[in-house]
C-alpha cells in the first residue's frame, strides 16, 4: 500500500513539473503572456498591430493616406472635430459613424493587397464629395 501511495505522489509531482515547463515555454513564445488577438468577426489576427490616430473635419481626413502591409491588424482611432461624419472602406465592409468630439475605434485585418478608397459616408456639407483618402496595402 505504501508503494502505491509513494508511486501516486511521485506521479503527481511529475505531472505538476510537466505543466510548469509548458507554462514557461508558452511565456517564451508569447512574452506578454497575452491571448491571441481576434477581430470583431472572430478571425485570429496574425499580422502586426498598426494604430493610426485620425481626424475628420470639413472636408478632409488627416492623414489622408495610410500605408500598411498585408495581414496587418489595423486600428484606426478617428475623431471628428467639427460635425457628424462617417468613415467607410467598402472593400473591408467598414462604415462607422463619427460624432463630434468623440473617438470611434475601427479595427480590421488588411487581408487584401491593393489601393482602397475611404470616404465620408455621412453628408457633411458642400465639400462632402471631396472628403476621401487612400489605404495602401502592400
The pLDDT value recorded for residue 47 is 78
HSE-up (13 A, CA, CB side) for residue 130: 7
How many whole angstroms separate alpha carbon 138 and alpha carbon 131?
23
The pLDDT value recorded for residue 19 is 43
Query: DSSP string spanning 29-80?
Result: HSTT-PPPPB-TT-PBP-S-EEEEEEEEETTEEESSEEEE-TT-EEEEEEEE
Q: In 3D, which of 84, 87, 97, 90 has the Cα closest to residue 112?
A: 90
Q: How many CB atoms lie within 10 A of CB 87?
A: 24
Q: For 99-111, what is each residue's pLDDT tens digit?
A: 999 999 999 999 9
| pLDDT < 50 stretches in the chain | 7, 11-40
The residues, any chain, with a CB within 8 Å of residue 31's CB and separated by 6 or more, are none
The pLDDT value recorded for residue 136 is 98
Amino acid at each position: 500500500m505504501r508503494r502505491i501511495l509513494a508511486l501516486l505522489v511521485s506521479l503527481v509531482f511529475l505531472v505538476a513539473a510537466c505543466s510548469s515547463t509548458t507554462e514557461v515555454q508558452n511565456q517564451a513564445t508569447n512574452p506578454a503572456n497575452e491571448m491571441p488577438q481576434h477581430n470583431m468577426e472572430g478571425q485570429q489576427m496574425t499580422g502586426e498591430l498598426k494604430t493610426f490616430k485620425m481626424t475628420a473635419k470639413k472636408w478632409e481626413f488627416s492623414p489622408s493616406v495610410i500605408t500598411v502591409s498585408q495581414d496587418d491588424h489595423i486600428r484606426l482611432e478617428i475623431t471628428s472635430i467639427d460635425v457628424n461624419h462617417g468613415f467607410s472602406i467598402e472593400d473591408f465592409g467598414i462604415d462607422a459613424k463619427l460624432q463630434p468630439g468623440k473617438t470611434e475605434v475601427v479595427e480590421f485585418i488588411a487581408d487584401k493587397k491593393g489601393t482602397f478608397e475611404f470616404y465620408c459616408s455621412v453628408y457633411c456639407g458642400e465639400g462632402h464629395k471631396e472628403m476621401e483618402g487612400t489605404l495602401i496595402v502592400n
